[in-house]
Amino acid sequence: MTEEAPDKNPVIVDLRLLTSHAEAVPVTTSVEAAHTAFARETIDFIAVLADDQLIGMCARRDLAQQLSSRYGFAPTVRQFLMPAPLRVKLRTPLTEIFQAVAARSSREFYDDVLLTEVDGRYVGMIPMRTLVRLQTEFLLGNNALLETSRQEIAAKNRAMEEDLLMAREVQLAMLPQAQAPFTAGALTLRLAHRYHPASGVSGDFLDVLRFSDQAAGVLVCDVMGHGVRSALITAMVRALLEQLRPVGADPGALLTGLNRDLTRILRQTDSLIFVTAAYAVIHPATG
């Protein structure tokens, strides 16, 4: 058996405000006198006390049945105490009261609920109709909160999707655009690529550096992982590559500078990130 986790946010109200009456009779009260109290107050349930201590409650229906049969003696209300009336104490969370009411049998479901002080002193009766109305309002309020949360989450998801779409467009814009062929003597070099990210944005990146009509540098890199973080690193690589364009004709100098600058930036983060890259300078004239 496992215990249920306690409610982190119990709903507690002043239960006195829910009571309809606080009528009570001594345990020695006769059935006739109790029936008169029922009629006078037009109530269906009444508390029964013994020396100001609550011992139970009686229902109008049970006393009415007794009076209709009219035995030859006048019993007291003690003989007609309800078997197990539901009692709740002040400061009891509403959710616990709702659960206790729901656990009652169908015959007892609409019976009033006895409200007592923490020390057991009688406070009053809470009608079931009041609890039903309160539970309905409670559920409607929760549904409204859930709907509000759903709308907020949906709005955040739409905003995130719009941000990812913009990030994708920016990332695609950083890719090399169509370029004229490189022609050197009898040789012609044409560069083409197909970029298909696994998700909205990607950690893969390529670029072409054209130095002259005789040479071009081609860089292909891959950032560990995928998604927004990897895409952000590729944007950093793209910016660093522009700064290193003056040494683009020397693969060793370009990759050394790229590794140095990228390491200096990523060292400031708490995450371990790997980036792999390959760079080549192509000379069509010499092959």
Ordered by start, the domain boundaries in the chain are: 15-126, 129-173, 175-282
Q: Over range 139-144, report the average pLDDT.
A: 74
Residue with tokens 């994708």: 168
Q: How many of the other CB atoms lie within 10 Å of CB of 90?
A: 14
- Minimal CA–CA distance to 15: which of 95, 126, 109? 126
Q: Does domain 175-282 have CATH number 3.60.40.10?
A: yes
Can you give the pLDDT at residue 47?
A: 93
Q: Over range 239-246, report the average pLDDT.
A: 88
Q: Give 58's strand partners.
A: 46
The CATH architecture of the domain made up of 15-126 is Roll (3.10)
DSSP E strand boundaries for the chain: 24-26, 45-50, 53-59, 87-89, 113-116, 122-126, 182-184, 187-189, 204-212, 215-223, 275-282
Q: Over range 138-161, report the average pLDDT.
A: 77
For the CA atoms of 233, 234, 237, 242, the dihedral, rounded to the nearest 10 degrees, stands at -140
Cα–Cα distance measured from residue 192 to residue 53, given in angstroms and rounded to the nearest whole number: 93
Q: pLDDT tens digits for 72-110?
A: 556 788 888 888 899 999 888 888 888 888 888 888 888
What's the one-letter identity of residue 114?
Answer: L
Can you give the pLDDT at residue 204?
A: 83
Cα–Cα distance measured from residue 112 to residue 117, given in angstroms and rounded to the nearest whole number: 17
Q: Over range 13-42, report the average pLDDT.
A: 85
pTM, two decimal places: 0.46
* Average pLDDT across the chain, whole number: 81
Q: Over range 206-213, report the average pLDDT.
A: 80
- Residues sharing a CB contact under 8 Å with residue 254, sequence separation 6 or more, in sequence order: 217, 219, 241, 244, 247, 248, 279
Can you give the pLDDT at residue 107?
A: 82
Q: What φ, ψ does residue 56 adopt, rounded to 5°?
A: 160, -160
